[in-house]
């Protein structure tokens, strides 16, 4: 299938999705939303894809919503921003967080507005040294969407989340790592190879088990300790029935390298 606003290919068991509107810093329009959704939906079902790498072309990762689509002339009726959130941004965030396989994000440049929060919704976020994160919404009179107000206080604490979202400051990759917003910073020229190596490594792990871990971590914020303990029991019950668990134990006992199949 031909895509206009993204590039995607497979490398081993890794599905690589590259946002590709470099002239617009990979900001989202409706067509790009539809293409991203189609690819992710496909990979969600595909047992051959065992990890996903999300990144961008050019000097930006993603600048959020393409404001060219959103020009409001005085006198025009106010646009219903809730509608595009309902239709595109919320399903995208749910798709990334519910994806039953690990999603690595390589933030190659500026990640602003929804673009920042889409990156943060991924499981492992690696940024180029020159990349930056900006909760730009407040500068336009808007509210952080795509899960920003939910995720940020959990990642960096309330005090920092408040300042970041009320002031809209630019946060460098190093600052983002230091405050626990992302996992790792690498030199610009090493970003893609390092991220790909990590995605490939994850794609050889017990995918089904990794999916259950994601589910547990993502549920934790809503659950009490008691609920979470019960969820861990249920997920462990399922994990213990997987082929990969048998393989893992057998490989351990026989002192060999396990060969996981992802189920």
Q: Which residues bind other proteins (CB under 8 A)?
A: 215, 231, 234-235, 237-238
Nearer to other proteins, 213 or 235 (CB): 235
Nearer to other proteins, 20 or 228 (CB): 228
Nearer to other proteins, 238 or 251 (CB): 238
Question: Strand order in 132-134's β-sheet?
Answer: 60-62, 110-112, 132-134, 170-172
Nearer to other proteins, 120 or 239 (CB): 239
Residue with token string 């404001």: 67
How far apart are the C-alpha atoms of 1 and 180, rounded to whole Å? 38
Nearest Cα to Cα of residue 217 among 137, 155, 165: 155
* Residue 36 Cβ vs other proteins, minimum distance, rounded to whole Å: 22
Angle at 209 between CA 253 and CA 176, to 5 degrees: 115
* Residue 43 Cβ vs other proteins, minimum distance, rounded to whole Å: 19
Q: What is the distance of C-alpha 194 from the center of its chain?
A: 17
Strand-pair category, 51-56 with 103-107: parallel
How far apart are the C-alpha atoms of 131 and 7, rounded to whole Å? 21
* Residue 234 Cβ vs other proteins, minimum distance, rounded to whole Å: 5
- Cβ neighbours, 10 Å, residue 18: 20
Q: How many residues does the chain have?
A: 263
How far apart are the C-alpha atoms of 120 and 176, rounded to whole Å? 11
Nearer to other proteins, 38 or 235 (CB): 235
| SS percent in the chain: helix, strand, coil, step 5 | 50, 15, 30
How far apart are the C-alpha atoms of 100 and 3, rounded to whole Å? 24
Nearer to other proteins, 149 or 219 (CB): 219
Interhelix angle for 30-45 vs 90-98, to 10°?
A: 20
Nearer to other proteins, 37 or 231 (CB): 231
């Amino acid at each position: 299938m031909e895509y206009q606003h993204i590039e995607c290919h497979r490398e081993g068991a890794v599905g690589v999705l590259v946002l590709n509107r470099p002239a617009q810093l990979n900001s989202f329009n409706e067509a790009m939303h539809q293409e991203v959704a189609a690819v992710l939906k496909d990979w969600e079902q595909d047992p051959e894809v065992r990890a996903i790498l999300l990144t961008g072309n050019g000097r930006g990762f993603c600048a959020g919503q393409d404001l060219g689509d959103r020009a409001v002339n005085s006198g025009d009726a106010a646009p219903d921003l809730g509608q595009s959130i309902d239709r595109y941004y919320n399903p995208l965030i749910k798709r990334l967080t519910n994806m039953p396989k690990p999603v690595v994000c390589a933030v190659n440049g500026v990640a602003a507005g929804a673009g920042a929060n889409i990156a943060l919704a991924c499981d492992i976020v690696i940024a180029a040294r020159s990349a930056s994160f900006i909760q730009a919404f407040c500068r336009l009179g808007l509210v952080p969407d795509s899960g920003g107000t939910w995720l940020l206080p959990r990642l960096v604490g309330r005090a920092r989340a408040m300042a970041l979202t009320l002031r809209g400051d630019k946060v460098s990759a190093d600052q983002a790592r230091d405050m626990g917003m992302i996992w790792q910073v690498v030199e610009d020229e090493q970003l893609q190879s390092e991220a790909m190596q990590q995605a490939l490594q994850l794609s050889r792990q017990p995918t089904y088990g990794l999916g259950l871990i994601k589910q547990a971590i993502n549920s934790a914020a809503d659950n009490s300790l008691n609920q979470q303990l019960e969820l861990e029991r249920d997920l462990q019950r399922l994990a213990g029935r997987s082929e990969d668990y048998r393989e893992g134990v057998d490989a351990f006992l026989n002192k060999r390298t396990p060969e996981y199949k992802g189920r």
